[in-house]
Amino acid sequence: MPGDALGQDPAERRRRIDTTKAHPARVYDVFLGGKDNYPVDRDAAAAALAANPRGYLDVRHNRDFLRRAVSTLAAQEGIRQFLDIGTGLPTQENVHQIAQRIAADARVVYVDNDPVVLAHARALLTSGPEGRTDYIDADFKQPGQILEQAAKTLDFDEPVALVLVAILHFVEDEEAYPIVRRLVDVLPSGSRLVLTHLTEDLNPENIRAVQRTYTERGFTFVLRSRAEVERFFTECGLEMDEPGVVPAHHWRPDGAAPAPEAADPAHLAGLDDIEMVRYRDINDVTDADINVYAATGVKR
């Protein structure tokens, strides 16, 4: 069922869209081969790709971790509720599609503050008849508003998976840790935290070059160590699931990463590096390619 945010006047949505400044959700969309972005977002993605030519593997494996984590929680742990903050633009294999394929009655609430995401949010609300989906137009830094609105769809007396995938590296320490604690505090026993985060532990030269391209464009971009990522779990009293905090491609790999799209060679010959990303195979990943940690944990 649509949330109140979807009733916002289209003219007001357009007024909120700043096409002069790159937005993380839209840059992410570029790397996933989406079309809901602007030249400034493509410029940011191109600069990041120039700094780290195989950096698209971070984005794509981050997304594939999300598929595996949601599938695991729905199929093996019986989780039927998901709160996905920093959702990004609708693409294939959104949380509700993954979860409801396994459990038709799963409920999913999406949260994002980009008006472009809001404009396309109805694509996130195509729930099956037994489940429910909703969308909240809110910032991660508004946990009270998020929890109040999410309670209209989710039952906080039953376990919830809090999904914070590729969002926390855009938030400074003084806000990131307290907000995660506040969100986890309201979740009941049996709930899960699903998290990914960029790091300089693994391949520092590559990711620092990418970091410079983003900070030059005004993004907050915080690279955290394994210990600092683990802190999001330990400070909330969460018990880490196996295998702990690991590079995204090492978190319970199942060999099901999507194959590249088929395309005519003549078409591929005319594409630039950014346009080619959607056609690249991510199964050739090595440890030297990945700069993102992934983990899940449970609240006892």
Beta bridge partners of 238: 299
Q: What is the pLDDT of residue 240?
A: 97
Q: Average pLDDT of each block of 10 consecutive residues along the chain (300 residues)?
A: 51 74 87 86 92 93 96 98 91 89 96 85 80 94 97 98 97 97 98 98 94 90 97 98 98 87 88 89 94 98
Q: What is the pLDDT of residue 11?
A: 66
Q: What is the pLDDT of residue 9?
A: 64
- Mention every residue, 6+ apart, whose C-beta is less than 8 A from residue 300: 189, 237, 239
**Angle at which helices 173-185 and 143-150 cross, to 10°:** 30
In angstroms, the CA 115 to CA 137 distance is: 8
- Mention every residue, 6+ apart, whose C-beta is less than 8 A from residue 16: 115
- What pTM, to 2 d.p., does this model score? 0.91
Q: What is the pLDDT of residue 36?
A: 82
